[in-house]
Amino acid sequence: MNDTTVQVFDSFQPIKKAGETISLQVGQTLGSSANGADLVATSGTDTVYLQVDGPRLTLPPDLLSGTYPAEGSQDSPDEFLPHIAIDRRTLAWERPGPTPTSPWLAVLLVKESEWRGDSQPILHLSASELSNVLVAEAAAPAGIKLAPQPPSKPPVLKPEVLTATLRPASLDTATVVLGGPQLTMRPSLADQVPGATLQSLTIAQIKAHDALAYTQLTDAQKGCGLDPATTVNVMFVPNDVLTQILPAVDELPLLCHVKLGSNDSETLIVVGNRLPNSTLAGGANQPEKHTALLVSLERRSDLYGAGNTRKGSAPAALVVLYKWTFTPSTGADFADAIQAIRYTPNGGVLRFGSRVTVPAPGAAGIATMLAPDGFLSTPLPLAPVGQANYRGPLRPYQAPDRANTFAVSAAPQELLNAKPGDPPDYSHATAFELGRLIAVSDSGIMEDLKAVHGVLDLPKGFVATSVIPPALQKKDWGVDPAAHNWSENPWSGTVGDFSQRATADFSGVSSQIAATGPWQAQIGAAYQGQQIQTVGASLGQIATATISAETLEIQLAEVFNAAH
């Protein structure tokens, strides 16, 4: 069913990388005439310089298309790699990476425990830092001089100095086992610089923790050439962890690609190179939290090979453009989970109403405890003890044809006609009562029920007609109809003059009457016999020979009112 085509591209290289400069010089030549000379040859005097810019230290929110797993997700199986989708197809190639041709973006995945060191407290202290440490008893580890205290006792560490390094149990007992050939001492990164949280630091502040990074970020020739006062979002990853998880330089281009979706959206996708680990470590009841980082590797050759001279677990500063955390899931993935439903003691994929009795091992049977008509028989808990039938709106087989009826009461009349011994069927009575309960529990429904009403659509196609008889249909009585032959063209003439005339031409009325016949009868016909005799008599009182159009209108109304 997958009819959408997705195109995948290796890369989209911008013509000019971010930070590079383009110079433009404008000129125009118009040529040429018959003798070969240009008609016009001109050039601009100034060169225009354009600096190409782009996201560098943060990912603008409008460019973020999405991350997988989602922030805070707890159910991504540990067989899926984290990735980030960015709505800017060229972004990964806009700046040089550790080498001039490699992408500068990568997704790293760091486990929570890796920020803090191992579960054993590990300390790495310089001699000067050790001056803060109270030495209690026993021997100091080989290779570390505990001056000025005598190296005869294990150090008791000040909790306020090293709380983040040591597990609470260790702090409570205030004894730290030092020694052993492989055990090095270090103050936790979280104590020095809390690596597990995203920090906003100036590049100058980074120098105290990671001088290599500082040099690389500020060096104008070999590095990024950033101002030391620039604020960046930075996280510190222990160098020994970083070297294990950082993609190799030749892997960076393999982890970036551009997807052209069916709706012409072009998305840059940067995939992580590390699978999350959902193993439950040491009695934990859920897997470790993982942090995924979109980091900038712009000119960060200090993180690779011989350039990386950081020792052991020294912090390596990474400029973080985006960060999200999630907890991988130990659970089965979707395919596993949905297919497992079929297998007992899970409930199976069945017709509604089938009730499962767990079959004997090896058997594949089911037992239906529902009647074929969909009734569930349940013992009535009330006295007298008996059975009642009930079925809801869901039925195992096709329901009988819909009843063309309306219930008007919940009184279970159906129970009256039931055969003796049949369990009463409460199905529809229950449904009816449920409807009433829905209504009475909601004042809005009660209110709206009042407003329900039938609507009679008015018949269409009628045309409004005048009831004024033709004898009186003349707007402008000021014009003699006879003179204008108006009976053939009744609405011509000086329409509009009528209202402005104080008096009108009486002859117009009489001519009209003469032309159209007995007007009283016409009025009578127009009013369909309503009190026609009276009207006729009253109309006779109007002196048509002397009346004006204006007064005729008034008098006619009076006559009508009198007649009624």
What is the DSSP secondary structure assignment for residue 253, as one 8-state letter? G
Segment 113 to 142, residues that bind another protein, using CB under 8 A: none
- Comparing CA positions, the residue from 4, 518, 79, 65 lying closest to residue 336 is 79
Which residue's CB is nearer to another protein, number 198 or number 275? 275
75 binds another protein (CB under 8 A): yes
370 binds another protein (CB under 8 A): yes
Least Å distance, CB 273 to another protein, is 5
Which residue's CB is nearer to another protein, number 17 or number 395? 395
**Residue 83 parent element (H or E):** strand 83-86
289 binds another protein (CB under 8 A): no
Segment 502 to 541, residues that bind another protein, using CB under 8 A: none
Among 53, 442, 553, 558, binds another protein (CB under 8 A): 442
Stretch that binds another protein, among 2-10, 131-139, 186-194, 462-470 (CB under 8 A): 2-10
Least Å distance, CB 340 to another protein, is 5
155 binds another protein (CB under 8 A): no
Which residue's CB is nearer to another protein, number 97 or number 508? 97
257 binds another protein (CB under 8 A): yes
List the x/- string, 36-55, binding to another protein by CB under 8 A. Answer: --------------------
Stretch that binds another protein, among 179-187, 191-199, 317-325, 397-405 (CB under 8 A): 397-405
Among 434, 467, 483, 562, binds another protein (CB under 8 A): 434
Distances (CA, A) of 5 to 216, 362, 537: 43, 44, 90
Preceding amide of 400 cis, omega within 30: no
395 binds another protein (CB under 8 A): yes
Contacts with another protein by CB under 8 A: the residue count is 133
Stretch that binds another protein, among 65-73, 198-206, 310-318, 493-501 (CB under 8 A): 65-73
d(Cα 402, Cα 547) in Å, to the nearest integer? 73
Which residue's CB is nearer to another protein, number 179 or number 359? 359
Q: Which DSSP string do the residues of 305-341 spell out, in sequence order?
A: GGG----TT-EEEEEEEEEEEE-EE-S--HHHHHHHT
What is the DSSP secondary structure assignment for residue 110, as one 8-state letter? E
254 binds another protein (CB under 8 A): yes
Segment 315 to 344, residues that bind another protein, using CB under 8 A: 329, 331-344
Instruction: Map residue 561 onto helix, strand or coil.
Output: helix
Stretch that binds another protein, among 173-181, 227-235, 268-276, 505-513 (CB under 8 A): 268-276
Residue with tokens 């281009």: 253
Among 100, 143, 282, 444, binds another protein (CB under 8 A): 444
Segment 451 to 490, residues that bind another protein, using CB under 8 A: 451-457
365 binds another protein (CB under 8 A): yes
Which residue's CB is nearer to another protein, number 220 or number 449? 449
d(Cα 425, Cα 412) in Å, to the nearest integer? 9
Instruction: Give the dihedral of Cα atoms 359, 365, 366, 371; nearest 10 deg.
Output: -140
174 binds another protein (CB under 8 A): no
347 binds another protein (CB under 8 A): yes
Contact call for residues 125 and 131 (beta carbons, < 8 A):
no
428 binds another protein (CB under 8 A): yes
177 binds another protein (CB under 8 A): no
Among 25, 101, 131, 244, binds another protein (CB under 8 A): 244
Least Å distance, CB 360 to another protein, is 8
Residue with tokens 């127009």: 526
- 235 exposure class (CB count in 10 Å sphere: 0-12, 13-18, 19+): buried
d(Cα 216, Cα 252) in Å, to the nearest integer? 19
Least Å distance, CB 1 to another protein, is 5
Among 283, 393, 420, 461, binds another protein (CB under 8 A): 393
Least Å distance, CB 380 to another protein, is 13
Cα–Cα–Cα angle for 136, 189, 304, rounded to 5 degrees: 130
For the chain, the maximum distance between any two Cα atoms, rounded to a whole number of angstroms, is 143
8 binds another protein (CB under 8 A): yes
- Comparing CA positions, the residue from 51, 49, 29, 26 lying closest to residue 40 is 29
What phi, psi does 500 have (nearest 5°)? -90, -5
d(Cα 241, Cα 245) in Å, to the nearest integer? 6
Contacts of 386 (CB under 8 A, 6+ apart): 379, 380, 423
Among 46, 62, 160, 250, binds another protein (CB under 8 A): 250
d(Cα 12, Cα 10) in Å, to the nearest integer? 7
Segment 76 to 95, residues that bind another protein, using CB under 8 A: 77, 79-81, 83, 85
What phi, psi does 388 have (nearest 5°)? -130, 145
Q: Rounded to an integer, what is the distance from CA 11 to the centroid of its chain?
A: 29
Segment 398 to 427, residues that bind another protein, using CB under 8 A: 398-400, 402-414, 416-417, 425, 427
What phi, psi does 436 have (nearest 5°)? -65, -40
363 binds another protein (CB under 8 A): yes
- Comparing CA positions, the residue from 178, 311, 155 lying closest to residue 146 is 155
Among 24, 30, 127, 349, binds another protein (CB under 8 A): 349
